[in-house]
C-alpha cells in the first residue's frame, strides 16, 4: 500500500494470506479479530513452557565448584544461541508445513493427488534429507559461529522447499475425484457484506510487491501474443488500475472487467472496460469464442462461484485460447473464500487447477512458480490452461 496514506498494509495470516485494510476499517477489523483466535501455525498452538526441573544438591568441594562454574559459563554463553535455534527451528517447521498445506486443516491434496507416488516420495525424501544436512551442518559449525551455521540452514532449507515443490509437479498427472470435492461452506467468507460496497472506494495501490510484479510482467512478456498482433482480443478479469502487462503493450482489443470504475478508467492498457460483480452475476457479457487470452491477477481467491466463472471463461475463449490465473499469499482475508484462507500455497495451486478440470472444456492445467526471491519477497504462482481445440 506504499504511496497512499489512506491505506496501510497489515499481515494478519502469515504464510497463508496477508491483508490490506483502510484506516476506516480498523475498528471493524479489530472487532472481527476479537471474535476468536485465527492461528496460522496450529502445530505450535499447544506448546507450553515447562517448569524447570529440580536440581540435585552438589557436594561443596572446590573441584566440583570450579567445574560447575566453568560449565555454567559455557551454558550461559550457549543459551542465547539455543533460543535462536529453537525459534528459527519452529519458524522453518511452520513455514514448511504451511507450504505443503499441512497447517491449513483442509488439505485438498487428500482427495486429489499426483498419480506417480514414486516421484512424490522421492521428492519428500530429498526435501527432508536437505533439512537433515542443514542440522548436521549447524552442529558441525557451532564452534565456529552461530550466525554462519544458521545462515547455512536458512539457505539449504529455502532451496530444499523449492526443490521439493519443483520435483512433485503439483498438477502433473493428477487423479481428480469424480465429483467436485468442495462444499458450499468452502466458498463462504468471513465478511459476507456486499462486494460492491467493499470496493466502492478506489484503491490505487498494488497488491503484490515490486519483485513479484516484475516476475509476473516477465512471464507475460513470454506468453502473451506480441504487441499489436492483428485480431487479438484479451480479457483482463477482475482488473484494476494496472494490469501488469509489459510496458507499452497494446492490442486491438483489451477489455478490463472489475469492481471499481475509477480504477478501470485509470488503466491505460485497456481499450474498454465493464464493471461487474462476478459473485453476483458470473455470466460474462461476451459472445462465444471471443478472446485469445484471459488474465486474472491475485483475485481468483475471491470468487464464490468459481465453476460458473470458469465455464464462462471456456465459453468465451477461442479454441486454443489461454487462461492465465496468477496469485500470491496476499489478500483481503475477510473477503477471500474459506477454502483459500484455511489452506497453504500448494493447496491453492490444486484448488485453481480443480476449477479448470471440473469446469470442462480445458486442457489439463499446468502450474509454475515464478516467485522471484523466496522468503524475501511475495511469492507468485501461475496456474494456466488452454481451451480444448475440440469439445
In contact, 106 and 342? CB cutoff 8 Å: yes
Q: pLDDT value at position 127? A: 53
Query: Exposed, middle or buried by CB within 10 Å (0-12, 13-18, 19+), for 117?
Result: exposed
In contact, 351 and 110? CB cutoff 8 Å: no
Q: Please identify, in words, the CATH class of the domain defined by 184-386.
A: alpha beta
383 versus 100: the higher-pLDDT residue is 383
In contact, 221 and 238? CB cutoff 8 Å: no
Give the residue from 92, 90, 89, 10 showing the smallest Cα distance to 45: 90
DSSP letter string, 126-180: HHHHHHHHHHHHHHHTTTT-HHHHHHHHHHHHHHHHHHHHHHH-TTTTEE--SS-
Give the residue from 345, 310, 347, 311 showing the smallest Cα distance to 328: 345
State the pairing for strand pair 366-369/381-386.
antiparallel
Q: pLDDT value at position 149? A: 59
Q: Indicate the pLDDT class of residue 173, thresholds 50, 70 and 90.
A: confident
Average predicted confidence (pLDDT) for the chain: 74
Give the residue from 38, 18, 386 showing the smallest Cα distance to 190: 38
Task: Domain ranges for the chain, please list them.
Answer: 184-386
Q: pLDDT value at position 375? A: 83
Q: Indicate the pLDDT class of residue 207, thresholds 50, 70 and 90.
A: confident
3-class secondary structure, 319: strand
Compute the Cα dihedral for 310, 316, 320, 324 and give only its sign: negative
Tell me: the pLDDT tens digits for 33-56?
343 333 333 322 333 333 443 444
Alpha-helical regions (H) of 224-275: 261-266
What is the average pLDDT across 217-223? 97
Q: Indicate the pLDDT class of residue 200, thresholds 50, 70 and 90.
A: confident
Ramachandran area for residue 112 (φ above 0: left; ψ -120 to 50: alpha; else beta): beta
Listed range (104-108, 184-188, 280-284, 285-289) with the worst mean pLDDT = 104-108
Tell me: the pLDDT tens digits for 74-105?
444 444 443 444 344 444 444 444 444 444 44
What is the average pLDDT across 257-273? 96
3-class secondary structure, 158: helix
Listed range (59-68, 107-116, 119-128, 155-164) with the worst mean pLDDT = 59-68
Q: pLDDT value at position 150? A: 60
Amino acid at each position: 500500500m506504499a504511496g497512499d496514506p489512506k491505506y496501510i498494509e497489515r499481515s494478519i495470516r502469515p504464510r497463508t494470506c496477508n491483508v490490506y485494510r483502510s484506516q476506516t476499517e480498523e475498528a471493524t477489523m479489530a472487532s472481527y479479530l476479537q471474535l476468536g483466535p485465527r492461528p496460522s501455525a496450529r502445530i505450535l498452538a499447544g506448546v507450553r513452557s515447562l517448569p524447570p526441573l529440580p536440581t540435585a544438591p552438589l557436594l561443596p568441594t572446590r573441584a566440583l565448584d570450579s567445574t560447575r562454574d566453568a560449565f555454567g559459563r559455557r551454558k550461559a554463553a550457549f543459551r542465547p544461541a539455543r533460543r535462536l535455534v529453537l525459534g528459527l527451528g519452529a519458524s522453518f517447521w511452520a513455514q514448511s508445513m504451511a507450504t505443503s498445506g499441512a497447517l491449513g486443516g483442509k488439505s485438498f491434496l487428500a482427495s486429489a493427488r499426483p498419480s506417480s507416488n514414486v516421484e512424490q516420495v522421492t521428492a519428500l525424501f530429498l526435501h527432508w534429507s536437505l533439512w537433515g544436512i542443514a542440522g548436521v551442518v549447524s552442529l558441525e559449525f557451532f564452534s565456529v559461529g552461530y550466525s554462519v551455521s544458521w545462515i547455512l540452514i536458512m539457505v539449504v532449507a529455502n532451496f530444499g522447499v523449492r526443490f521439493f515443490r519443483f520435483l512433485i509437479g503439483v498438477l502433473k498427472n493428477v487423479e481428480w475425484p469424480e465429483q467436485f470435492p468442495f462444499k458450499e461452506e468452502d466458498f463462504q467468507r468471513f465478511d459476507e457484506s456486499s462486494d460492491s460496497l467493499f470496493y466502492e472506494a478506489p484503491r490505487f495501490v498494488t497488491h503484490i510487491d515490486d519483485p513479484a510484479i516484475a516476475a509476473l510482467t516477465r512471464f507475460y512478456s513470454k506468453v502473451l501474443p506480441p504487441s499489436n498482433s492483428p485480431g487479438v482480443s484479451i480479457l483482463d478479469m477482475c482488473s484494476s488500475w494496472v494490469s501488469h502487462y509489459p510496458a507499452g503493450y497494446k492490442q486491438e482489443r483489451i477489455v478490463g472487467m472489475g469492481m471499481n470504475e475509477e480504477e478501470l478508467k485509470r488503466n491505460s492498457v485497456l481499450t474498454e472496460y465493464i464493471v461487474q460483480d462476478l459473485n453476483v452475476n458470473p455470466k460474462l457479457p461476451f459472445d462465444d469464442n471471443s478472446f485469445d487470452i484471459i488474465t486474472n491477477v491475485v483475485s481468483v481467491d475471491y470468487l464464490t462461484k468459481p465453476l460458473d466463472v470458469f465455464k464462462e471463461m471456456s465459453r468465451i475463449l477461442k479454441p486454443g485460447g489461454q487462461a492465465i490465473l496468477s496469485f500470491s499469499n496476499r489478500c483481503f482475508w475477510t473477503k477471500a473464500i474459506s477454502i483459500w484462507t484455511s489452506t497453504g500455497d500448494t493447496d491453492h495451486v490444486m484448488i485453481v487447477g480443480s476449477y479448470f478440470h471440473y469446469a470442462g472444456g480445458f486442457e489439463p492445467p499446468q502450474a509454475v512458480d515464478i516467485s522471484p526471491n523466496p522468503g524475501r519477497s511475495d511469492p507468485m504462482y501461475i496456474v494456466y490452461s488452454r481451451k480444448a481445440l475440440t469439445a
